[in-house]
Chains A and B, each alone.
Chain A
Amino acid sequence: MNDIQLPAIDYAALLPMLIVFGAACVGILVEAFAPRGWRFVIQVSLTIGGLVAGLVAIIVNRDLEITTIGGAVTVDGPGLFLQGAIIILGIVSLGLIAERRLERGGPFVAEAAHAANSDGDKRQEREPGATEVFPLTLFAIAGMMLFCVSGDLLTMFVALEVFSLPLYLLCGLARRRRLISQEAALKYFLLGAFASAFFLYGVALLYGYAGTVSLTGIREGVLQSEQSGILLAAGLALLAIGLLFKAAAVPFHVWTPDVYQGAPTPVTALMAACTKAAAFGGLLRVFNVAFETTAWDWQPVLATVAILTMVVGSILAVAQTDIKRLLAYSSVANAGYLLVGVVSLNGAVGSSLFYLIAYGFSVLGAFAMVTLVRDSEGEATHLSRWAGLGKGSPLFSALFTFLMLGFAGIPLTSGFTSKFALFSSAWDSDQSVLVIVGVLSSVVLAFPYLKVVVLLWLNPPGEETPTVSVPSMLTRAVIFAGVAVTFVLGVAPSFLLDIVADAGPFLAK
């Protein structure tokens, strides 16, 4: 029995994830032992401290390129970039999660499981919210970080579950409109569980085909395996379904609008920015590392999915009457653009990474602003309630308009530079059809954004226009970060484009 060898573990490479996981575990201890009155302060500082420490560790590791723990984790340029992106976006979205001025006791309730509108549920609406959201967020972020650097499919699956489970729970914790919040949580959980099952079946079939679950092993196996190609195709298809579900690609997007609408807005922001980055990090890695050599087989299928995602997402966005659903469909359409980057393989990895950062900050800013428009019922998300806000709150409306223009891809915003970079690298990789569809669909998608702008400035205010609340410094900082990055990446994107170019391709050895 002595022939068992411990796999070599490079703790330095794992350090960023270990820090964040560790901070999450400490957060649970705080929850168990710290006095109630102190928890909020301790948790916020612990969470931010943990994330910042993780970020520092990533920066220290920036030139690392290594495969460790027996191939379970592959730390490489794109992986580190994605980890950094997720942490930075996570820190920003924490500003929303920790906001306590807009709503007494924060945007969350303590228990997700109270039946909606029962006595217990009504009571907890008046009580301060749970501080468990902070460790949960940390676990989710750490899971996403692991997801982006997984070297084999099983690690990837574990990471998928680690970041999904906290999100399911967080979705159900909205302080207001409890029923749709619980609906969102349940829907996300059930559909997410199906997607995980698909993913796992896919892993099993691919193991049958290649005799290994490691991504590089599958890459080799594709060339040598004597098994039926059907195993490969079916395994790949099932695996892709699991991944595309998280990325909200059509036809696996149906959960997106409901969940985005029902979840507490800070969590929606976290999902739109970080989960998107993680899901596409995973997609990019799987397709670039494991299946690059079989690209001819899957590219047409994935291209079809990309086209469907862009077209359906942008067309359905036109018909939305709720700002959160509108942003949800726009996130579906953006998933389509990112899929163009996935289909284009290595040529577009850098611009996809850039896109994730640019989109992440814009969408965080947009959701942060959504949390401000309130009436006595909580957030007023129906678009008709936003009519004429420009009269009373010009600064708010101007900033929101700017973000909408960013989404629409107008020059001097990050929306333009990121789309330009992504589409031109896709064109370079001979995906001209996808680029043309992408460009045309972004014209369609510009319509709902314009609609919101027209609504803000030109429509007469309704009978009871909601007020734009004054938030604490945290939410202000989030909005500032969202708007500032949208602008800076629109005007001077060179430095970040250099960084993503330096990140290089995924490590495929």
Chain B
Amino acid sequence: MNAVLLAVLIVPVLGILAVAAGAWAGNRRLGAVLGTVFAGVGLFAAVALGFDHSGRPWTRITEEWVPQLKLSFDIGVDGVSYPLVLLSAFLTFLCCLYTAWKGTERGDALIALLLATNVGMLGVFVSYNLVLFFVFFEIVLLPMFAIIAGWGGPARRRAAVKFALYTLLGSLLLLVGIFVIVTQAGTGDILALTESGGGGLSRGTQLLAFTLLALGLAIKAPLWPLHSWLPDAHTEAPTVGSVILAGVLLKMGTYGLIRVAVGVAPEGARQAAPTLAVLAVVAILVAGLVCLAQTELKRLIAYSSVGHMGFVLLGIATLTQAGLTAALIGNVAHGLITGLLFFLAGSVKDRAHTGELARLGGLREVAPGLSGMLGFAAIASLGLPGLAGFWGEAFAVYAAIQRDQTLWTVLAVLAAIGAALAAAYLLRMLRLVTHGPPGEAVAGMSGTGLRAVEVTSFVPLAAGALVVGLLPFVVQAPIGEAVSGILQAI
């Protein structure tokens, strides 16, 4: 399985080279197709990676790199990371396919950047070394910056720079946290640190380390009040950029919180958990209220992400088996559903040339296929039982109640109210976009039917949301086992 694990990381790199070769040969179309093929091979490798899950962790490769900086090439997968590895490879493949098929301008370059982002994201998910984790964390920044800045909407440059600066700030706080751990504990091995309950660091050091790590990761996640880069970046990014941003990039934050912050500084996590939970619930409520007042489609979806990630963070803050499992399932569900929502929003904007809710409306009559998909995605997003969104959010609330303390119970109730708010704003969005008489922008739409490229991108995501919703144990089983490993140390 080691070869497969390496292939997961290397195949996208080969894809970038293939795109470059295509550009060299003057055939950009060929480059785009080759890039997509490599993304597909990468997805295949990611799927294959899951077949052998007997080991603990399933697969692991350890090579020295720069011992002086405690950096080693130490990668592997287990139940916590595998769903995200799969999600990342899956969404990247869909985005590449979408780009290549649609014939986006400079599509080959966009595909190369998507693949580069993918390398970084996969690297984050498979790193078992703190410094390596950080290296991959930073690698994601640039291609994403270029995607927003190169293919985004009218205010793209501002959004891109804002994204880059927030992310840099976050990653450097993360870096300081890593300094604390690495210099005090003398190792960067995440698994060893988790097993020893934080490498024997004192309570104070752990709290400091956790705070720094959590701050850095919370910007990425994003946690209220550090979220303000997200609406701009999501709104301005091209469709595939938004899909990757919402679908995978945010998960680097929450995954990092579980794997790195909680895993490496459990004592600090315990002390900081109530604060984290309060902020998470505030995020849920604020995002819900803001969404109720949003006037732009992509911005609304972006803010809804803040709310959904709030549930994930609440789940993490409970530090219980149910909470962490819920958080990881919520991650996957949000990746599928919000990815789908952004694809749909992109299709709507492509046709109507606006995302203003006031100018849309009546999509149901003009483009029934599109509006049906939008309805499905919105309902999945609001957490209807039987669809993916339900499990993560319901169990995050359940885990909070399970803590059986006044604070947590209050938080659980408030989060449940937030879930109701989510239902309210998503239904409002549906009413404004799909129902009513066709707005001027919708009435003038051309090509109302779903195109083949769109069907190919939407259906797998919708199917995924359905599978996770109906058979949650598919993801729950491996996650639960790995989570208990992390929790044992606490």
Contact = CB atoms under 8 A, between A and B. Distances in A.
* A touches B (Cβ under 8 A): yes
A28 to B, nearest CB: 44
A497 to B, nearest CB: 4
Interface string A270-314: 000000000000000000000000000000000000000000000
B249 to A, nearest CB: 17
Interface in A122-181: none
Interface in B46-77: 65-69
Contacts of A446: 164-165, 168
| Interface bracket on B | 20 to 34
Contacts of B179: 423-424, 427, 435
Contact of B139 (A411, A417, A436, A440): A411
A436 B173 CA distance: 8
A436 B66 contact: no
Interface in B113-132: 131
Contact of A436 (B150, B169, B176): B176
B134 interface: yes
A417 B66 contact: yes
Interface in B158-185: 160-161, 164-165, 168-169, 172-173, 175-176, 179-180, 182-183
Given A423-B179, A439-B176, A494-B65, 6 more contacts: A408-B168, A410-B138, A417-B66, A443-B172, A447-B161, A457-B149
B81 to A, nearest CB: 20
B66 to A, nearest CB: 5
B153 to A, nearest CB: 14
Contacts of B66: 417, 492-494, 497
Interface string A419-430: 011011001100
Nearest to A417: B69
Contacts of B134: 411
Contacts, number: 78
Of all A-B residue pairs in the complex, the 3 with the closest CB atoms, nearest first, are A411-B135, A497-B68, A439-B172
A322 to B, nearest CB: 20
Contact of A428 (B149, B169, B183): B183
B176 A435 contact: yes
A95 to B, nearest CB: 29
A412 B164 contact: no
A291 B183 CA distance: 26
Given A411-B134, A458-B157, A501 B172 contact: no
A439 B165 contact: no
A443 B142 contact: no
A441 to B, nearest CB: 10
Nearest to B135: A411
Contact of B69 (A408, A421, A440, A458): A421
A488 interface: no
B141 interface: yes
Nearest to B64: A494
B180 A410 contact: no
Interface of B: 65-69, 131, 134-135, 138-139, 141-142, 145, 149-150, 157, 160-161, 164-165, 168-169, 172-173, 175-176, 179-180, 182-183
The size bracket of the interface on A is 20 to 34
Nearest to A351: B68
B176 to A, nearest CB: 5
Interface in A368-419: 405, 408, 410-412, 416-417
Among B157, B168, B169, B173, max chain A CB count under 10 A is at: B168
14 contacts: A411-B139, A412-B139, A420-B69, A423-B176, A424-B183, A427-B179, A427-B183, A439-B176, A442-B172, A450-B161, A454-B149, A493-B66, A497-B69, A501-B68
A501 B68 CA distance: 9
B27 to A, nearest CB: 18
Nearest to B160: A454
B189 to A, nearest CB: 16
A498 interface: yes
A439 B173 CA distance: 7
Contacts of B142: 405, 410
Contacts of A454: 149, 157, 160-161
Contact of B135 (A405, A412, A457, A458): A412
Contact of A458 (B139, B150, B165, B169): B150
Contacts of A440: 169, 172
A442 B168 CA distance: 9
A442 B157 CA distance: 21
